Amino acid sequence: MGIPVSPRRVRGNTLIGLLFAISIMGVLFTMWARQIGRQHEDSMARVEGNAAGQFAVGLRGFMAAAQANPALIPAGVRTGVDWLKAPACGGLATNPPEGYVPCDFTGGTLGPQYQTRFTYNAATGYLEARTDFIAPVLGDRPTNRILMADKIALAANSTAAVPGNGMFFRALSNVPVTATAPLPASTPPGADAGRVLLIASNAPSNDIFLRTDGTNQMLASLNMGGFSIGNALDGRFAGDVRVEQRLQVDQGMTVQGVADLRGGAVTSDIALTSIGRYASEGIYNAQVYTGATEYLVAKPNCAQAGNNPGIYVAIQSTGTAPNSDALWEARADVYDQGAQWRIVPVVRATRLTLSSSDGNLIFDKQGVDANPTDMRLLVMTRCR
């Protein structure tokens, strides 16, 4: 015979089970909320870090101009990001029309907080810029500002893609504005908790624009007054040089080797020391000859174009008409003499005479060679 169960006991067990289920759900909800919070923090850190990296690119473009013209270096503190924009967008009046950052650039949500200070040593030419801002507190834990600053600095540094022997810029977290390196792991940030610091300079180990020893790489294409790289003294390229739009070459250019201009070339003057396939597709030498009874013309060197030289002779002027009747001819005979051609201008006239003999009329026709020295010839040579 079973023991009867009290209805009151059943209700108690049901309540305990319900409370236990609620507590489990509460723990799961808390874990889910924290995971969502971390994902939000990570996403925000990436956005703010990428924005800080883009700001640093524009800042380096400004510094490239300022180190050549120190008068551009602003005094005091520059707040926000607008001062790097085009003058029409609120940038400095001395900025180029394109600016150093786009007009719609905000620096993320933290851009308005940026504080930028410059240091310049006129004796050494050393130029340094320091930009700092404070990471936000997300949620109800003030200490997460430290972690947020770390994540923003990490994201900013990743945009630099720096080589191992030099840096485009440095991003530090939870350090004072005078810091030159990260704080030791055992040092609490204290009053500097949450600060992100961007450091850019033209020091040899940190400069990617003016290195001449080949140890650092140019890793950014900057808009500097409309040019990515301007006023370069010399350039050496191991591979091809590709120009997408217009190639303008001023005086003093010397090309050794092969220059392949597939779209054609327009130049005021050009001297060809050898002949190639593309140049051989057109006439490359033309001379006018006059004043002699024959001319010797050297054959062009067609070693690079099939070894098939050709010559074309055209009469520009027959010169003075010979003393003859109306029938006369002018031509130029060309003779191949191995390494050269012999050109002989010819003018032959027809002289008609009428005479009488023994009561008979005699009509006579005679060919006469005339002086060809005033015949003008256009002689063109090419590789066929």
Residues 93-146: tens digit of each pLDDT: 999 998 999 999 999 999 999 999 999 999 888 899 999 999 988 766 777 888
Q: Are the C-beta atoms of 87 and 97 separated by less than 8 Å?
A: yes
Give the pLDDT confidence score for residue 164 in this predicted structure: 39
Give the pLDDT confidence score for residue 188 in this predicted structure: 80
- The sign one gets for the Cα dihedral 117, 164, 231, 264 is negative
- Name residue 25's amino acid: M
- Name residue 269's amino acid: D
CA distance 81 to 86: 11
CA distance 73 to 354: 102
Q: Are the C-beta atoms of 208 and 220 separated by less than 8 Å?
A: yes
Give the pLDDT confidence score for residue 87 in this predicted structure: 95
Give residue limits of the domains in the chain: 36-201, 279-383
Determine whether 309 is exposed, middle or buried from the number of CB atoms within 10 Å of its CB (0-12, 13-18, 19+).
buried
Residues 57-103: tens digit of each pLDDT: 889 888 888 888 899 999 999 999 999 999 999 999 999 998 999 99
Low-confidence ranges of the chain (pLDDT < 70): 1-13, 15, 17, 20, 26-40, 139-140, 160-167, 204-234, 250-264, 272-284, 305, 321-327, 363, 366-367
What is residue 7's three-state secondary structure? Answer: helix
CA distance 72 to 61: 12
Contacts of 212 (CB under 8 A, 6+ apart): none
Give the pLDDT confidence score for residue 220 in this predicted structure: 46
Q: Are the C-beta atoms of 89 and 233 separated by less than 8 Å?
A: no
Nearest-10 Cα torsion for 54, 60, 65, 69: 140
Largest alpha-carbon pair distance within the chain? 181
Determine whether 243 is exposed, middle or buried from the number of CB atoms within 10 Å of its CB (0-12, 13-18, 19+).
exposed
Give the pLDDT confidence score for residue 187 in this predicted structure: 78
Give the pLDDT confidence score for residue 4 in this predicted structure: 60
